[in-house]
């Protein structure tokens, strides 16, 4: 049976180093015996502080409290003096500060997904109510954008290696065990999955894992090991936030939004829509920006006023300034493509206080030359013939609307 789904563990696989690394570092720095913290963390088996946190029965801050008390008791019983500055929370804080996403494995997950595989993060995790909870929120938010499913033990009430969590994942993915590959850095977590019929990969080093993924998935190593950045994950129109801003009576602008941080406003060209930025939107959000992909006036779900004066650069820039006002955005990075490039350059000229930075794709800035009639100059370039053709009211509309399917295929050729 062909493999069609891949489950990725988080700590020690997609994100690393894992917690055990930082527990060991804390032990060495505090001159504690090896595995001192591990014994406290896992003491009690299924009722250990760790197990309860993974099932969501206690929060991370409660886990810290139980571990602090457990360490004091274990140290006292072992005749060990804990340093005055000792803190179990330190290991978790260092993991958040020093750990990194495993970029090659994340890239492999994206390649697998693009080739028709379902991808899922299956992780033992805690409910993070600590002071560093923004880190957890940011990491999980990133993963949800790149995987079909994210399953956290603390939300389910079951943890690896309990068979229940694997059964839940199979049901959620609508997959049979023989169709699934599981990656984990803990052998104990792989055993029940293997007994169910899943293919399992014990993660030790990234290169070996990618080669095993090649064998199990049927994808060639060059695809999974490519040094070239693959296409980012595209956003789905049904999975993003849509908004509508009334500019004035009879005019409203539609936009799509994602992410948190400094604002980047994307302005598309002709003949396009906000969806032209479907790959850039998640990538910019991952990079720490609040992305606003505007649907320009006259396109898509934004209104298309009949008065030609509505489409002057002056009016479009005024509308964009109002758009930013109503969203409460004092300043933004503006990025334009094609005709959207003309808009962002003009915004930088006439509303410079609203523009943090400006970038344009295929429409470089050219200062106006009063001595040159731009319309007459355009007539000398056959490339721009279509723009003059569009000036005849009703003529272009009649031709383009004669066979809308053909028109769309000619104008919009991307299939991805």
324 pLDDT band, cuts 50/70/90, is very high
Q: What share of the chain is helix, strand, coil (3-state, %, to 5)?
A: 50, 15, 35
Q: Residue 344: CB partners within 8 Å, gap ≥ 6?
A: 267, 334, 335, 336, 355, 358, 359, 360
Residue 313: band (very low, low, confident or very high) from pLDDT cuts 50, 70, 90: very high
CATH topology (fold) of 237-367: Rossmann fold (3.40.50)
pLDDT digits (tens, 9 = 90+) for 78-119: 999 999 989 999 999 999 999 999 999 999 999 999 899 999
**3-class DSSP state of 296:** coil
Burial of 62 (0-12, 13-18, 19+ CB in 10 A): middle
Q: Where does the chain hold its CATH 1.10.150.240 domain(s)?
A: 19-97
CA dist 142 and 52 (Å) reads 26
- Candidates 112, 154, 116, 93; CA nearest to 14 is 112
Q: What is the CA radius of gyration of the chain?
A: 28
| Better-predicted residue by pLDDT, 377 or 130 | 130
Name which of 148, 146, 172, 26 is nearest 98 in CA terms.
Answer: 26
CATH of domain 19-97: 1.10.150.240
What pLDDT digit, counting tens, does each position of 251-272 carry? 999 999 999 999 999 999 998 9
pLDDT in tens, 200-227: 999 999 999 999 999 999 886 556 655 4
Cα angle for residues 145, 146, 148 (degrees, 5° grid): 90
Every domain range in the chain assigned CATH 3.40.50.1000: 5-14+102-225
Statement: residue 230 has pLDDT above 80: no
CB 49 within 8 A of CB 66: yes
Name every residue whose Cβ is closer than 8 Å to that of residue 165 and which is 6 or more positions away in sequence: 122, 151, 153, 156, 158, 159
Higher pLDDT, 262 or 366: 262
According to CATH, the topology of domain 5-14+102-225 is: Rossmann fold (3.40.50)
């Amino acid at each position: 049976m062909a493999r069609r789904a891949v489950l990725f563990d988080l700590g020690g696989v997609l994100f690393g180093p894992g917690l055990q690394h930082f527990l060991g570092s804390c032990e060495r720095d505090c001159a504690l015996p090896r595995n001192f913290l591990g014994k406290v963390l896992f003491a009690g088996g299924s009722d250990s502080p760790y197990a309860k946190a993974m099932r969501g029965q206690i929060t991370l801050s409660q886990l810290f409290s139980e571990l602090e008390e457990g360490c004091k008791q274990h140290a006292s019983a072992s005749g060990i003096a804990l340093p005055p500055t000792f803190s179990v929370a330190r290991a978790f804080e260092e993991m958040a500060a020093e750990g990194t996403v495993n970029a090659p494995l994340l890239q492999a997950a994206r390649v697998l997904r693009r080739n028709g595989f379902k991808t899922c993060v299956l992780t033992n995790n805690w409910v993070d109510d600590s002071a560093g909870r923004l880190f957890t929120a940011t990491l999980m938010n990133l993963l949800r954008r790149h995987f079909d499913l994210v399953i956290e033990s603390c939300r389910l009430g079951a943890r690896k290696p309990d068979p229940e969590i694997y059964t839940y994942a199979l049901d959620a993915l609508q997959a049979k065990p023989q169709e699934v590959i599981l990656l984990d850095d803990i052998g104990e977590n792989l055993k029940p999955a293997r007994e169910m019929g899943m293919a399992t990969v014990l993660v030790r080093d990234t290169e070996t894992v990618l080669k095993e993924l090649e064998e199990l998935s049927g994808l060639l190593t060059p695809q999974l090991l490519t040094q070239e950045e693959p296409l980012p994950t595209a956003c789905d129109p049904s999975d993003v936030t849509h908004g509508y801003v009334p500019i004035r009576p009879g005019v409203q602008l539609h936009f799509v939004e994602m992410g948190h941080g400094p604002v980047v406003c994307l302005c598309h060209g002709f003949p396009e829509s906000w969806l032209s930025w479907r790959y850039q939107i998640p990538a910019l959000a991952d990079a720490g920006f609040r992305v606003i992909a505007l649907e320009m006036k006259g396109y898509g779900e934004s209104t298309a006023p009949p008065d030609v004066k509505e489409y002057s650069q002056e009016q479009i820039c005024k509308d964009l300034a109002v758009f930013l006002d109503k969203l409460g955005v004092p300043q933004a990075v503006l990025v334009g493509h094609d005709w959207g490039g003309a808009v962002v350059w003009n915004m930088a000229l006439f509303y410079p206080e609203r523009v943090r930075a400006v970038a344009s794709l295929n429409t470089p800035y050219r200062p106006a030359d009063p001595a040159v009639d731009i319309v007459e100059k355009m007539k000398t370039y056959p490339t721009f013939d279509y723009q003059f053709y569009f000036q005849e009211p009703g003529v272009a509309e009649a031709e383009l609307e004669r066979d809308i399917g053909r028109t769309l295929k000619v104008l919009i050729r991307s299939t991805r």
